[in-house]
Amino acid sequence: MKRIGLTTLAAALFLVISTPLLAQEKAMTTSTGMELVWIPAGEFRMGSTQEEQSWAIANGATDVFVKPEGEQPRKATIKEGFWIGRTELTVGQWKKFVAATGYQTDAEKKGEVSRAPNGSAKRWETVKGANWKDPNFGMKLDDNHPVCCITWSDADSCCEWLTETEKKANKLPTGMVCRLPTEAEWEYACRGGTQTKFWWGDRVEDGKGRLNWGGKDDGFEFVSPVDHFGKRGRNKFGLADMLGNVMEWCFDDFDPAGAHERCHRGSDRVVLRGGAFGGSFECSRPAAVRCASRYSAYKGSTYANFGFRVVCGMKTDFDDKPLSPLKSSTLASTKSTTTRNEPAPMADSEMQKDAKKFARNQSIIKGLYVVKLDNGQRLGSAQDIIATAERVASDRETICDFTGKVAEDTQISMEEAERLLKVRYPVWQAGHKIRFSYGDKYAKQAGGSAGGAFAVLLLSLLDGFQIDPGYAMTGDVTVDGKIREIGATAEKIRGAFLEKCKIVAIPAANKENLSDMALLYSPAMLWSAQLFSIATLDDAAAVARKDRSENLTKAIALFAEVQARLSPNSGAAALRSPWVYQSLREVLRLAPNHLSAEFMLRAANNQLPNALSLGESMEQIWAAAGPLLGFLFADYKEPEKSKRYYFDRVPKETTKMALERLDWLQMRLNPKTRDLKVAMVDYMVSLDQLHRASTFSSGTLKQHLEKRDRVLGEAHKLGVDRKVLEEMMH
């Protein structure tokens, strides 16, 4: 049985209280209001197998879509991460482009578009006067519908305008432009880490309620609003409508011999991907609306179902050779990676005249982490993260890297911090390498919650301020400088206290978790250290630096006096004493983000909740179940084998400890989760009985599985889908 890691439980909590599993993916919003999602560099297999192609032909696809997919999947490497629109470009976003430039589309100039009717007709029809303003669908297009009737040239012109607009707004990451996705980028983003026919799997029927395709059964004869299907319609990168709705232009010219890893030029036709909305023609049939399906058209083709999605990425290079098929023996071995194997490019000598120089050679900050124990409980800790600006004997651009092994999400969070600082300071002094290392240098670090700490470290190296050695922080970071919500906040704060950290910063979005912390541990934790909320990188740096602002310095000094007057046994009465109460109010006036002062005033006024938040209650139930949680998905088809393989590996005291923890939680749980807790207790008791039994009887197993299903049912009521939960638990 696989152990359930810390990040799994944190992700489970996030599922309950917010958006889907990958809702923590990095995102930024352009100056024009377009939301882009960060897609990390990596490898994948482009194309489809002969088995998939045979299935597609048997289910209504033709060689127009299938033959260009290649004989076998080919290994493709995305060397640079990129941003891509969460949705297809909308009518509202297109209107901003037209309003700013007065642009006229090719369809407007031509005075017509081609459209596939939704009846039994066998040929495309020409619709006079139709264009993006009115495609003649018999319905009004709102601002949140995808813009359509767009040619490749129209889309490319819009991207050029976006590049200039974002440059002027200082929101375009260094070296990047707005453009259409390359064909390889599009398929990589569409698959979201999968190699199945569709991004959700291989079954057509599982696509119901996920996208607009194949006729009126999905509720739309023509286009649907973008992201209409919500979290069910988003892939694991959080991208909506990657299949269906409108076909999406790619940057590449079309090569009928197969797709290219790098952008291809050399044809008079251009690639389209993703299939389209319902109709009688092939581009909307499920067999043709697959991740690997390829279509092509001329750059000036005016079709009613053509739209696009914007990428913000590096300028493309070109290739004239299609990818070679992978040998069957290598198909299963391709894995994504974010490791930097490529050397940094040579620095531009002219730009180096205005480069930002490093004001410090080294900075240290404490990041907050959680470790998972064998009994399912979690312990927080504070660990030094060290950033060193090393001189290297070259004139290459300065990049960041780690001295040891880290998990992919840690790598991504560091690269996000680097990207953020390169937006602020586009050119860094060349001939350096920023090396991140940890106090525990032999452990493989995991988790994206150190992103904010990486960003503060880089800012310290560049601006020269010293970080307070008693400061610790947690929080992810995005390229627009926002500190994002994280999981296991209470445990991380407690870990900071145990490590004697005096100043602790957490994301502003996590501040209500302090009530959970006080309930789980002790109200005294509110004043065991000085807790601050941080919403941006600048907030984090302001609290982290030793040379703080005058008001912040006064607030910290005054709160230290309050701490000296209180003991771990102090209660609300002590907080209501006139001097303490007025001092807390003054601290909050001087530093409005001083969470300790805010929550102590709440406690003094009896305004703290007496139950855990819904999300923390769910997480505590999963944590209490610990290693036994995996039994929710045990295979009981071979009972004796299951007994030997699973139960014999569980320590005898595990069930007892789990039940004791659940009993302790009873009066602290959010009322909405108490039925789940009762179901979990019943299930644990049944599991213990099976553990002790010498054999399994069919009747005992039936009762046990009924109790198992009740746990899953209660979780489902609280917003956790069984399939998602099973995926996360394993």
Q: Which pLDDT tens digit goes with each residue over 4-20? A: 333 333 333 322 222 23
Enumerate the domain spans of the chain: 31-317, 351-548, 614-729
Amino acid 703: pLDDT: 84
Q: Quote helix, strand, coil % in the chain, to nearest 5.
A: 40, 20, 40
pLDDT tens track for 167-176: 888 888 777 8
Chain centre distance of CA 591: 31
Name residues whose C-beta falls within 8 Å of residue 139's C-beta, 6 or more positions apart in sequence: 222
Helix (H) or strand (E) holding 102: none
Whether 248 and 88 have beta carbons less than 8 Å apart is answered as yes
User: Backbone dihedral region of 152: left (phi > 0), alpha (psi from -120 to 50 degrees) or beta?
Assistant: alpha
Whether 396 and 430 have beta carbons less than 8 Å apart is answered as yes
Amino acid at 507: P
- What SS3 state is found at 394? coil
Query: What average pLDDT score do residues 486-502 get?
Result: 86
Amino acid 535: pLDDT: 95
Which structure tokens are listed for 240? Answer: 């909506």
Amino acid 328: pLDDT: 46
pLDDT tens track for 111-123: 888 765 544 334 4
Which structure tokens are listed for 28? Answer: 């930024």
- What SS3 state is found at 95? helix
Task: Give the separation between CA 502 and CA 593, rounded to whole angstroms.
Answer: 16
Chain centre distance of CA 445: 18
Helix axes 722-729, 698-717, angle to 10 degrees: 110
- Label each residue of 352-384 as H, E or C: HHHCECCCCCEEEEEEEEEEECCCCCEEEEEEE
Residue 32 has pLDDT above 50, yes or no: yes
What's the whole-model pTM score?
0.52
- DSSP for 128-195, written as a single string: ET-BTTB-SSSSPPPTTSBP-S--HHHHHHHHHHHHHHHHHTT-SPTTEEEEPPPHHHHHHHHHTT--
User: With the C-alpha atoms ordered 378, 724, 673, 601, is the resulting torsion angle positive or negative?
Assistant: positive
Query: What average pLDDT score do residues 594-623 get?
Result: 86
Task: DSSP letter for 486, please.
Answer: -
Mean pLDDT of the chain: 82
Amino acid 445: pLDDT: 62
Chain centre distance of CA 265: 33
pLDDT bracket for residue 720 (50, 70, 90):
low
Report for 242-256, 305-319, 455-469: range of highest mean pLDDT: 455-469
Helix (H) or strand (E) holding 6: helix 6-17
Which residue pairs, CB below 8 angstroms and at least 24 apart, start in 58-61?
58/287, 59/204, 59/285, 59/286, 59/287, 60/282, 60/285, 60/286, 60/287, 60/288, 61/282, 61/285, 61/287, 61/288, 61/293
Residue 591 has pLDDT above 80, yes or no: yes
Q: How far is CA 668 from CA 13, 65, 671, in A?
A: 17, 57, 9
- Nearest Cα neighbor of 307 from 392, 386, 354, 248 is 248
Chain centre distance of CA 504: 25
By residue count, the chain amounts to: 730
Q: Which of 212-226, 283-297, 522-536, 619-633 has the weakest average pLDDT? A: 619-633
Task: Give the separation between CA 51 and CA 696, rounded to whole angstroms.
Answer: 41
pLDDT tens track for 421-474: 988 898 898 888 899 998 876 566 666 789 999 999 999 999 999 999 999 999
Task: Give the separation between CA 297 and CA 292, rounded to whole angstroms.
Answer: 17
Name residues whose C-beta falls within 8 Å of residue 95's C-beta, 6 or more positions apart in sequence: 143
pLDDT bracket for residue 712 (50, 70, 90):
confident
Amino acid at 570: S
Task: Give the separation between CA 67 and CA 258, rounded to whole angstroms.
Answer: 9
Amino acid at 366: K
Q: Which carries the bigger pLDDT value, residue 616 or residue 332?
A: 616
Task: DSSP letter for 480, please.
Answer: T
Architecture label for domain 31-317: Alpha-Beta Complex (3.90)
- What SS3 state is found at 695? coil
Which structure tokens are listed for 598? Answer: 């805010």
Q: Which carries the bigger pLDDT value, residue 528 or residue 518?
A: 528
CATH 3.30.230.10 fits 351-548, yes or no: yes
Query: What residues pair up with 366 in beta bridges, in sequence order?
Result: 384, 472
Helix (H) or strand (E) holding 44: strand 42-46
